[in-house]
Amino acid sequence: MTEQQSPPEQMATGEGAGERGGNYKITIYELENFQGKRCELTEELPNITEKEMEKVGSIQVESGPWLGFERQAYAGEQFVLEKGDYPRWDSWSNSHSSDSLMSLRPLQIDSADHKIHLFENAGYAGRKMEIVDDDVPSLWAHGFQDRVASVKALNGTWVGYEYPGYRGRQHVFEKG
């Protein structure tokens, strides 16, 4: 099995990162440990049943990264999939609450400066924290606590986590 870096490590180094127009390749298998029906993808797939698969049991990412979703049409919990092997669902799910992956798309990573604003209240109101080209394993360490109600990604692609230390559900924030 290929050892994986955490998403923040790979995104910071650019390892495995696709760029606009870059190559993306992922192989999904219906069963755990790369067994059963398989399907190679190089572009988005809004519903794995389009490829006559009922579920995803394991994944091999050759180039990417990719963003997997718990439900069809890019809905539900998100899973960042970097280059490497994922032999069973709990190797790609940080929350351990979902064993379902029903849609996938390439995750565009640009090389521009990265900048994001976190707001304490909805509608981009209240206290604001600005992060520029930085890795922040805990908002508590920066005095922001755990109250983020709105986010504005000004540049780059960001991965936020439910809990400190890159744990829990993942939330991807892209420019716009």
Are both 44 and 123 inside the same structural domain? no
- Specify the DSSP class assigned to residue 44: -
pLDDT at residue 1 in the model:
39
Does some domain include residue 150?
Answer: yes
Query: If DSSP codes are grouped into helix, strand and coil, which group holds residue 91?
Result: helix
**Mean pLDDT of successive 10-residue segments in the chain (176 residues)?**
42 44 89 97 97 96 96 95 95 76 92 88 94 91 82 93 89 90
pLDDT at residue 80 in the model:
95
Are both 59 and 133 inside the same structural domain? no
Domain stop point among 49, 77, 106:
106
pLDDT at residue 90 in the model:
86
pLDDT at residue 13 in the model:
41
Q: Which domain covers residue 156, as residue numbers? A: 115-174
Does some domain include residue 2?
Answer: no
pLDDT at residue 22 in the model:
66
pLDDT at residue 110 in the model:
75
Are both 101 and 35 inside the same structural domain? yes
Distance of CA 155 to the CA centre of its chain: 17
Measure Cα distances from 85 to 20, 60, 92, 151 in Å: 23, 5, 9, 31
pLDDT at residue 6 in the model:
45
Q: Which two tokens stand for residue 21?
A: 């127009």
